[in-house]
Amino acid sequence: MPTVLNPYLSFRDNAREGMNFYQSVFGGELTLSTFGDFQASDDPAEAEKIMHAMLVTTHGLVLMGADTPNNMQYHPGSSISISLSGEDEVELRGYYQKLTGDGGAVTVPMERAPWGDVFGMCTDRFGVSWLVNVNAAQVAPAS
């Protein structure tokens, strides 16, 4: 099996909400495990917090996340963005629209970029930055 790199999102205490949102955007199967499932916290208030979540889509996307236990420091936001790229413009525009909806924000509209691709940037309602790129070979010529 090759080495893979998967984004792993940190939440303070809303990983369940966040990962359900991403499932509504990308589809796929979501598995959620709580700290209580594994008796991984001595704090009963954390029993229902998400210790590990994994979303796997039929298109091969994998996104993971977890709540941050109270005994660990939480660092909201980061200098990392998640990039989606491919050839299916309808699919990628659909993801972009869902990510910018319901509290998300457009950073760069989905438009033809100087390098010929269709490109856009946004921040979803959880503060995660996304870059969405449709490969130029698949983009319809501008009229």
Read off the pLDDT of residues 17-67 as tens digits, 9 standing for 90 and up: 999 999 999 999 999 999 999 888 788 889 999 999 999 999 999 999 999
Say how far apart CA 103 and CA 36 lie, in whole Å. 30
Fold of the 81-138 domain: 2,3-Dihydroxybiphenyl 1,2-Dioxygenase; domain 1 (3.10.180)
Looking at the predicted structure, is the pLDDT value of residue 90 above 80? yes
User: What ranges do the domains of the chain cover?
Assistant: 8-67, 81-138
- Using pLDDT thresholds of 50, 70 and 90, give the confidence band for residue 140: low
What SS3 class is residue 104?
Answer: coil
CATH code: domain 8-67 is 3.10.180.10
Alpha-carbon distance values, 102 to 21, 76, 105, 125, 132 (Å): 10, 19, 9, 7, 18
Given this model, what pLDDT does residue 88 score?
A: 94
Asked if residue 142 has pLDDT above 70, the reply is no
Whole-angstrom CA distances from 111 to 77, 118, 120, 129 are: 26, 5, 7, 17
- pLDDT of residue 139 exceeding 60: no
